[in-house]
Amino acid sequence: MVEVPAAEAAEPTAADWAAAVAAVRGGQAGGTVLLVCHVNPDGDALGSMLGVALGLRRLGITQLQATFPGATAGATGGGYAGPPEVPEPFRWLPGLDLVVPADSAYPAPDLFLCFDAASASRLGALADRLDTAGAAVVLDHHASNTRFGGIHLVDPGAAATSVVAEGLLSRLEVPLDAEIAQCLYVALATDTGSFRFDMTTPAVHEMAARLIATGISPGEISRRIFDTRPFGAVRLYGDVLQRAQLEPDAAGGVGLVWTYATLDDLARHGQKAYVLEALIDSVRCAAEADVSCVIKQVGPAEWAVSMRSKGAVDVSRVAVALGGGGHRLAAGFTGRGTVDDVIGAIRAEL
């Protein structure tokens, strides 16, 4: 696998699109096709992957699998049979029946497509398919994308990977239907913060219009993915927001607000890690700080760090310096050690 500097990232050329379409057309001729999205998948990762997966199924591709790093066999009972690692708000997405455990994914697929991953490391052990696959197509929108595949549909100007996914489906002449649209809408709504962020361009609303025109229900989708959590999560937020700290002089004077959540916090309230995904949105409200940060424990000395900026600071620069990635206003990385170690490293980079 080849990694070249992110500075070379530019929107896909006509040749890139043609190469991707040709690769999929090759897969239509009876080959195996594997779709993978980034570890700890969010709405954009899952929605883009499943939207394209459904589109490929419509094209008649039958040897078709989707997965993500860490996906295990489905939880039975309660109606949902997909991987337990799919966060509950996304467990109704169409196309989840195509998701297989990561360790039963085609070892050498004829065609490999990956979604919303800025670097090969975000694919975990599944990154080995970059070497074993017949063709590898990278669909992404991170400016920090390291162009680690064979064919790159990477558009740093796209609000979500689903914008790129829709571009591929339209070039494959797959019409949007309500199931594909639900997937792509979840992805678009997730990465634009429900159409609130600056990347919510006219083109984003035009795409949303095309998706909604298939008959999907934006209100119902938003309620499911943004506004539905167990009561225990409400109490958990109380604990974690209570310990938030404001450092007005940090980040060169523009201010930092931050908090952390431990595995013990989750256990005390009987909650799963996914409920903390929206925590950053409560923390970043603090008017006194440009930079906000949530440090979420995932192991004894391992933390998933979310960072946001209101514009004065490029948090992707901080995240990249600490081994992660992301965008100017939203980025993250994996922290090691204690909470103090992690916040200390962030303060130093800021």
Among ligand AMP, Mn ion, none, the one that 330 touches (CB under a kind-dependent 5 to 8 A) is ligand AMP
Of the candidates 340, 243, 316, 331, the one whose C-alpha atom is nearest the C-alpha of residue 282 is 243
- Using CB distances below 5 to 8 A depending on partner kind, what does residue 318 bind out of ligand AMP, Mn ion, none? none
**Site residues (vs ligand AMP, CB under 6 A):** 118, 122, 306, 324-327, 330-334
Query: Which are the contacts of 190, defined by CB distance < 8 A and separation ≥ 6?
Result: 42, 43, 44, 47, 160, 225
Decide if 89 contacts 11 (C-beta within 8 A): no
Of 44 and 110, the one with the shorter C-beta distance to Mn ion is: 44
Q: Which helix (H) or strand (E) holds 315?
A: helix 315-321
Nearer to ligand AMP, 162 or 306 (CB): 306
Nearer residue to Mn ion within complex by CB, 292 or 306: 306
Q: How many contiguous H segments (helices) and E segments (strands) does the chain have?
A: 12, 11
- Footprint on residues 16-75 left by Mn ion (CB under 5 A): 42, 44-45
Q: 49 vs 118, which CB is nearer to ligand AMP?
A: 118
Compute the least distance from the CB of residue 140 to ligand AMP, in Å: 9
The minimum distance between CB 293 and Mn ion, in angstroms, equals 18
Dist CA 226 CA 35 (whole Å): 25
* 293 SS3 class: strand
Instruction: Name the binder of 332 from ligand AMP, Mn ion, none, CB < 5-8 A by kind.
Output: ligand AMP
Nearer to Mn ion, 93 or 343 (CB): 93
Binding partner at 331 among ligand AMP, Mn ion, none, C-beta below 5 to 8 Å by kind: ligand AMP
Q: Residue 11 is encoded by which pair of tokens?
A: 């929107």
Nearer residue to Mn ion within complex by CB, 42 or 179: 42
3-state secondary structure of 85: coil
- Least spacing, CB of residue 40 vs Mn ion, in Å: 9
Q: Which is nearer to ligand AMP, 28 or 282 (CB)?
A: 282
Cβ atoms of 39 and 127 within 8 Å: the answer is: no
Q: Which residue number, 98 or 276, has a Cβ lying nearer to ligand AMP?
A: 276
Smallest gap from residue 183 Cβ to ligand AMP (A): 18
State the binding string over 114-153 for Mn ion (x if CB under 5 A, else -).
Answer: --x-------------------------------------
Nearer to Mn ion, 110 or 116 (CB): 116
SS3 label, residue 128: helix
**Rounded to whole angstroms, how far apart are CA atoms 202 and 42?**
24
Task: Report in angstroms how near the CB of residue 30 gets to Mn ion at its nearest.
Answer: 32
Write the secondary structure of 163-183 as one string of H (helix), E (strand) and C (coil).
Answer: HHHHHHHHHCCCCCCHHHHHH
Closest residue to ligand AMP, Cβ-based? 332
Cβ 334 to ligand AMP shortest distance, Å: 5
Looking from the CA of 171 toward its CB, the CA atoms found within 13 Å total: 20
- Gap between the Cα atoms of 23 and 163, Å rounded: 19
Smallest distance, Mn ion to C-beta of residue 77, A: 29
Cβ 45 to Mn ion shortest distance, Å: 5
In the complex, least distance from residue 2 CB atom to ligand AMP, rounded to whole angstroms: 19
Question: Residues 303, 227, 80, CA angle at the centre, nearest 5°?
Answer: 80
* Tokens linked to 171: 């070039």
Considering only 191, 265, 277, 290, the residue that binds Mn ion (CB under 5 A) is 191
119 in Cβ contact with 149 (< 8 Å): no
All residues at 6 or more sequence positions from 13 whose CB lies less than 8 Å from its CB, including other chains: none
Residue ranges in contact with Mn ion by CB under 5 A: 42, 44-45, 116, 161, 191
